[in-house]
Structure 1
Amino acid sequence: MIASLISLLLVTGLSGIVAQTVLIRECLILYGGNELSIGVTIGAWVIWEALGAFIGARWPRGGGAAHAFIAAGLTFGIVFPASIYAVRAFKVLAGLPPEISLGITSIFGASMVIFLPLSLLHGFAFTAACRAYEGVKGPGGKAAGRVYFYEMVGTIAGGVLVSYVLVTWVHSFRIAGLILALMALACLAMAVSAATRAGKLLAALSLAIALGSAVFMAAGLDGRLQWRSIAAQWHGREVVSYENSLYQNIAVTRATGQYTFFTDGLPAATIPVPDIARAEEIVHIPLLTHGTPRNVLVLHGGAGGVIGEVLKYPTVRRVDYVEIDPAYLGTLVRYPSALVRSELGDPRVMLHYTDGRRFVKAASPDRRYDVVLLGVASPRDASGEQVLHPGVLPRGAAHPHR
């Protein structure tokens, strides 16, 4: 039984970090890309996990604890996709339009509601697993350390898997389906090894859940649920594209022939007719103030109008355009816009896929810019804070929102 217990511990750690990562990314869209909310959401997770661990510690040792551990794992896998849907439907239920951002108090309240079931179950599973481990190995004071070790091994593996594979290759409900199937199989192995009546019932339930999850995904029902939840998240808008990159969520809506691009819930660009007033305000005041700009640096947000306005100046010889996310520009060029094609295809435009802060710090001392344009919003999130830091911002840089 110890081998199946360890396997379930590994899967519990893996599923916990995967669920937490997916939900935090979903919450970033709900909270309007405010990365400072990550600390609040993690705090909500820890609060409920601590309460769940407290409840699990009161469970008796032995077979009952093992059954409770299995039941918690199965319930966790089932609640995970429901939590994703709840995040996306939150503004609909609250009567808020999708473009409205939440304040810090609302963010904390929403996070406490959203993370309650999953984090409570995950905390309960830890101490229930400790009781189950003691039931197998006997009380000796080492159960908590061993359980924590195996969960952390699963957590490390899950962190790498979700960050670099799952998030960018499959949608959130497919991730939840895979986690549910994996959790059910691990619970099945442990329930079979228990060799009790309750264990047999849990084994049958685990097998049914694993098969149900596999059939659900094979039939493409998880994809339907994905788009149904997106429709709820962006209620009143036609969403034509929705994907996650390593850095952010990218959504595209269409209305009367116009395409609006959102990154983590915030509008980033509009084509084929751009927001000319915004682009002119960003570009012309600093460039006209300089008089004869030759070398211009654009840090983020340049495609879709800003670079086009810069290139109208006959004195401009080079434009270095820095964009951290290749997937964002890849999405942008998939839609009809002669302006974007002309901007990115102009020989004077040099495109750099890197972080703006890193590009500025690594720039050669010989490379000097007449004007630097920052296409980031005022410092409401971590990315804005990093680029606008006095030690990073080039002297004389022009901020579009000032």
Structure 2
Amino acid sequence: MSSLDYHSETVRQGIERLKLLGRHSELLMHSYYGVPVDEAQLGGRTVNQLIDANILRRPDEHSGLKLSDPVRDVIVQLIADEQRRKVNVDIGDFLTNIRRLVNKINGAEQQADYQISALLQDQLSQEVDDLNSRIGGGIDSLWNRLNTDFAFVSTVQEKIEENEKAHTQVLRWLDGLELINFKELIALAGSNGGLRHILVRQLQGQVSGHFSSLREVQSRLNELMTRFRQQQARNLLVRGMLQFFQQKPNFQPSDYAQRSHVADLINQAAALQPSVAIALDRQRDQQDMQLLLAQLPARPEPEAQAPSSADTLVQFDEEVVMAQRRALHEDVLSFYLSVLDQQHSQSALAYLEQAQLGWDPEMWVYQVIAEYQGLSSTEKTAFHLHYHQDKQGPFNDVWIIEDVELQLLSEGVLA
């Protein structure tokens, strides 16, 4: 950027707005946490400056001043990591120690003090192992709660509450692991092979394993929550029935089978279609079956039919067949030439109807496809044959070609 750009209007305006942000930072943070802006104390001139700079906005004439969306987004991004570090103290302290130790290691190696650098790398490796142990212990504690604590609480509601607490812990660990930015660690390690082994290769494998374990715990918690909700619904139904019987101790359910009119909600069974078959494996019923078969009427014998004379063999003249083939070939060529002349796509069946040709539609479509397949590779590049086809049925993967459409792609000449 040249010296002229530093004095441009855009740079000057940006500097003024940054000064406004710094000058009224306390007011903006209070507004972020919901404290209303006192316009009388702030002054009309300052209010107008903040509004013109898109730092504050007035949603409507009846409401007070609010932070603009860009300023709110900046504040969220600035304090997000700090809030997560407060929740995840272990990982936040670990990242702070990592940066401190890496800076010391790089400083020692710049001064050629490799003995101190090796000691600091051992300390760094111990920090990584300690963090891995803390996370592993937290995950083991979650599994222990899943396998023991939930089984000893007295009610399903308490199990649900324990499940929600465990969910909170899982989310806290997941948020903590997301604080570990490996791009930053790679940049810190630089070209130092020892640091890259500790901070990237070793730590990344451990963090990946912890992510997988936490996802398994989360899946198990969701499964247990579903089961607890089902138990809660059944318990609610049983308690409701028990309360109903306590209020009406003389209640007796009626026999629905003896009713002449059954409620529509209950009478939902489909009609039966009985079918019978002979049980050939029941030897004791053999005699009864023989009697039943003897009473069946005899099957009438088919009448003898005199052999009919063979159908007359229709002989086609070979010259007539060849003449029809040539005529069909010439009509198809006319169809191709018509597409060339008109310079746009055309349906084969539409041309057949328009030209009032007497060919069978199926034979015509087949011949159009055959002529296209018979073209040379150079001639094929001039056309594109689009098939209009439809599936024969939902359970049959046979496609029926109903029509074809010939499209001209580029100028070409048929032989």
TM-score of the aligned structures, taking structure 2 as reference length: 0.23
Which entry has the higher C-alpha Rg, 1 or 2? 2
**Higher RCO structure (Cα 8 Å, ≥6 apart):** 1
